[in-house]
Copies of this chain bind each other. A is one copy, B any other.
């Protein structure tokens, strides 16, 4: 607050994820400083917005890696376990799994059973499938452990990729930039209108804002329909 005063700053647009939103909300509560948040996070785990800035970028980065793994998968009989980011949620895993055609998606929000994955692989083998990609959100299980479990129960080679922090980098996709343009413009406008503690977001393709208190308190839900669709397409 002293630094802000020294620079005559009487309001902030804070761009960041979960941590930034919580920290800036403390600042607001303590000092009454008007703060508008722009949700930027690869994890997409912010209540009050369908998408966060950076999420589409991270999903496309992981998807490109999956596509390259698939190139090998189709020429060797193998199971590939790919661990993607998502400490407490499966947003990246679900989108990557659906769009990458994964044979199974393991996320923290939905209870999973590795024996069911074993069954799925065996059933696939019977129908002539020779390769399988299993996406694991880091918050649900360790890729190495999933691989070890599977390799003891099926008779084909199991390999692991742990994509790690490459998912946090790279040049932003069009969608991430479009969202940044729109949410940033709205944030500036809200501050200008005298608003104090709001988080901007996009819901059903419309720019909206939600009280920061609500965003901090509530947890965003995964899209169960997309999960079921992924399962259906991969059978």
User: Chain A residues in contact with chain B, CB under 8 A?
Assistant: 50, 56, 59-61, 63-73, 80, 82, 95-96, 98-99, 144, 159-171, 173-175, 177-178, 181-182, 185, 203-206, 226, 229-230, 232-233
Contact = CB atoms under 8 A, between A and B. Distances in A.
Contact of A233 (B69, B165, B181, B233): B181
A135 to B, nearest CB: 13
Contact of A67 (B65, B159, B171): B171
A38 to B, nearest CB: 14
B67 A205 contact: no
Contact of A165 (B80, B95, B229): B80
Nearest to A60: B174
How many copies of this chain sit in the oligomeric assembly? Answer: 4
A185 to B, nearest CB: 6
Contacts of A169: 67-72
A161 B163 contact: yes
A69 to B, nearest CB: 5
How would you classify the secondary structure of chain A's contact residues: helix, strand, loop or mixed?
A: helix
Contacts of A181: 98-99, 229-230, 233
Contacts of A64: 171
9 contacts: A60-B60, A63-B173, A67-B169, A68-B170, A71-B169, A99-B174, A159-B164, A162-B164, A204-B206
Nearest to A42: B72
B165 A162 contact: no
A161 to B, nearest CB: 3
B50 A99 contact: no
A166 B68 contact: yes
Given A178-B99, A205-B204, A160 B164 contact: yes
A94 to B, nearest CB: 10
Contacts of A159: 164-165
Nearest to A62: B174
Closest 4 CB pairs of A and B: A71-B169, A68-B169, A161-B164, A99-B177
Contact of A205 (B68, B82, B168, B205): B205
Contacts of A178: 95, 98-99, 226
Given A50-B205, A56-B175, A178-B98, A168 B72 contact: yes
